Amino acid sequence: MTTHPALTRRRLLGLGLGAAAIGAVPALGACTGTTTPPGAGSPGATGSATFGSNASDPVPRAAYAAVVEAYSAGGNTVTTNTVPHNDFQNNISTYLQGSPDDVFTWFAGYRMQYYAEQGVLADVDDVWAEIGSNFSPALAAASTGLDGKKYLVPNYNYPWVVHYRKSLFAERGYQVPTTWDEFVALCKQIQGDKIIPIEFTNKEGWPAFGMFDYLNMRTNGYQAHADLCAHRSSWDSPDVAAVFDGWREILPFQNPGALGMTWQDGAANLGEKKSAMYLIGTFVTQEYADNNEVLDDIDFFPFPAIGDEGQSAVEAPIDGLLLSRRGGENPVARDFAKFVGTPQGQDAYSAKDTSNLPTAAEADRSYLTPMLTKAAELIAGASAVSQFFDRDALPAMASNVLAPALQEFTRDGKIDLANIEAQAAQLYAAQ
């Protein structure tokens, strides 16, 4: 297992989480790792554990139910407590400081590191000692706290890309853009056809982070994203102003009802060809699980290049399991987390949710559609991989400062960068 001593938040962000090393490409299957047969617990790990899950949508909920069922076949009991995704994420601090479940769903990135630093998580170094060879060095880095210990057991990841329906593009003669100028020109063409060019939803606050991150990385480079998330650079700067200048250029092409829509509403519009393009994670295909005609018609392209930065940086969040401080004392919770990090555990998940990419090297990838294979290749070929602003940045910065600021920007195209910088300076100085 590759270890990363003396990791700092700056070093982790600076790594870009290592492009090809993160990926879920079949070539990684050459790696070997310690595996656990389905339902088999570790010696001495008998009893029960509670599992807090944010997988409230039907497809991921069914997927985690399948994982629990497969694990429980060995005799242990795992009780799942499912909470609506946004509620779970918005109330995570209160949850962890109260009476949290033993093991729970969460993400890689600074939001994991932050709570580890608060002392409300248990490390999983012993779990990684058994299953760590399943994962790439970049996944290991993404799962590591500022103290050098492992906290996350990765389950899957997925890229944020611009989705579209192939039949709509063929019917209308639309060409996939690779540059910003081509993208803007295509938006104008689509709008002329009385179709919403860019599906965009921001009722929940977080979906806009994807647009912001890509515009920043394409305008200023991946390191600019890393520096801004760490507050090594100022929000009140020409570089950040340029991001919003670019965004204003495409605001007229975004869905005007964005502030009243969830990401699922946007998926419905894309599926019904009411909108033409949708920047979101590949999990969007969960919404078409019962409609093969639409599912088979979905494709994507990378966010277009702006200037000299190209298209090589990719936003590809990593999801997995963490142990609460209390859960760290429960052998069954540790054993369940380990199971999720094995090929068998991830196969149980992907049997129900085929919209994501498994992280374990030897997990089954035969189910990957051409689109997901393309997604895996995109991540593998990336020069840098970001997590998502609300995972790479201070939690309060994402939830309390940038999210409402982007909702206001969505409404009227105005952004007060000096005010955002003042709030950021105060928040990061308190760390």
CA-nearest of 320, 389, 381, 332 to 60 is: 320
In this prediction, residue 36 carries a pLDDT of 40
Q: Are residues 165 and 250 in the same domain?
A: yes
Q: Which domain holds residue 213?
A: 160-315+394-429
Q: Are residues 410 and 281 in the same domain?
A: yes
Identify whether 3 is part of a domain. Answer: no
- Per the structure, the count of domains in the chain is 2
Identify whether 52 is part of a domain. Answer: yes
Q: Are residues 285 and 352 in the same domain?
A: no
Identify whether 388 is part of a domain. Answer: no
Residues in the chain: 431
Q: What is the pLDDT of residues 59-110, one digit of tens each?
A: 999 999 999 999 999 999 999 999 998 899 889 999 999 999 999 999 998 8
Identify whether 14 is part of a domain. Answer: no
Identify whether 20 is part of a domain. Answer: no
Q: Amino acid letter at 76?
A: N
In this prediction, residue 14 carries a pLDDT of 37
The rounded distance, in Å, linking the Cα atoms of 274 and 262 is 15
Identify whether 67 is part of a domain. Answer: yes
Count of Cβ atoms closer than 10 Å to residue 71 Cβ: 29
Q: Are residues 145 and 253 in the same domain?
A: no
Q: Are residues 284 and 202 in the same domain?
A: yes
Q: Are residues 139 and 275 in the same domain?
A: no
Identify whether 60 is part of a domain. Answer: yes
Q: Are residues 179 and 273 in the same domain?
A: yes
Q: Are residues 238 and 268 in the same domain?
A: yes
Cβ-Cβ contacts under 8 Å for 91 (sequence gap 6 or more): none
Residue ranges in the chain modelled with pLDDT below 70: 1-44
In this prediction, residue 42 carries a pLDDT of 53
Q: Are residues 103 and 213 in the same domain?
A: no
Identify whether 25 is part of a domain. Answer: no
Q: Are residues 106 and 174 in the same domain?
A: no
Q: What is the pLDDT of residues 259-286, one digit of tens each?
A: 999 999 999 999 999 999 999 999 999 9
Q: Are residues 264 and 407 in the same domain?
A: yes
In this prediction, residue 8 carries a pLDDT of 37
In this prediction, residue 34 carries a pLDDT of 36
In this prediction, residue 269 carries a pLDDT of 98
CA-nearest of 53, 38, 26, 105 to 346 is: 38
CATH number at 80 reads 3.40.190.10
Q: Are residues 193 and 289 in the same domain?
A: yes
